[in-house]
Copies of this chain bind each other. A is one copy, B any other.
């Protein structure tokens, strides 16, 4: 078994945050996902990089434990993104996006990956997400991400994907846009009707809400005194979420309590992600620190029985 399989982007990010700049650092949804998931167990990656992609980045992800057999090397430049955060980190402005080799990305799932039981479709063209699903033979649980660009621009394909997945992860504005409902409870119910059994609405420092069948679960965000760079927090959440499910998956059904614990694991990895630029916090992160933050989440939300 090789834990969750993620299909998404790997790129070089230039990030301006809190008066500092990091130039062409490791980024991309699949990179963040894989790094976060690697702390929970094996993870496999399907992505594409150009011939300028530094070996050091590949070595780093490999050293974390990610299986990179599905990361294709293409002739040309690697995907690049350049973004800037406002001083209060509330607003992100994209200054430049260069798709480069990612423009021709057509995910080929290596034969060894096609038996993956847990699959995460990163934020890519829904047509490509469908293409991935067509190659997967035995998935027990499929999660996916999407964004406004696909919700407005590729809605029919996106609706097709939604019929074939278990969990949709998206932020509140995306949930509103997809469902046409401002109220998040109604938005989640609308998305349920589109096919997703579980809807996870990520709300940044307001935490994440899980609407799973009739159950609702609220995972807080860990209040942090020093947020350095929120880039990749959502992908790290997804990596922690799917990585945790991969860790406990024994071949049967995934129960509701496991999904709640996976939400907290996702929130944990997202909180670490924000503490440094790029994937740098994961370079020094230890199992003990993760355990300690689990305990902090427990403490953050715990209250005794309450009766009138």
Contacts and interface: CB of A to CB of B under 8 A. Distances in A.
A87 B183 CA distance: 11
Given A207-B220, A307-B291, A308-B287, A225 B261 contact: no
A76 interface: no
Contacts of A287: 308
Nearest to A223: B185
A227 B261 contact: no
A103 interface: no
Given A206-B203, A206-B206, A218-B301, A225 B183 contact: yes
Interface in A257-301: 257, 260-261, 263-265, 287, 290-291, 294, 297-301
Contacts of A290: 308
B303 A257 contact: yes
Interface residues of A, number: 48
A209 B223 contact: yes
A156 B291 CA distance: 44
A306 interface: yes
Interface in A223-267: 223-227, 257, 260-261, 263-265
B220 A303 contact: no
A216 B308 contact: no
A185 B225 contact: yes
A302 interface: yes
A306 B261 contact: yes
Contacts of A91: none
B223 A216 contact: yes
A134 interface: no
B207 A264 contact: no
Contacts of A291: 307-308
Contacts of A150: none
7 contacts: A183-B224, A185-B225, A216-B299, A218-B301, A260-B302, A260-B303, A265-B306
Q: What are the 9 tightest A-B residue pairs by CB atom distance, in nearest-first order?
A: A206-B206, A218-B220, A185-B225, A260-B303, A88-B182, A294-B306, A185-B223, A301-B301, A261-B306
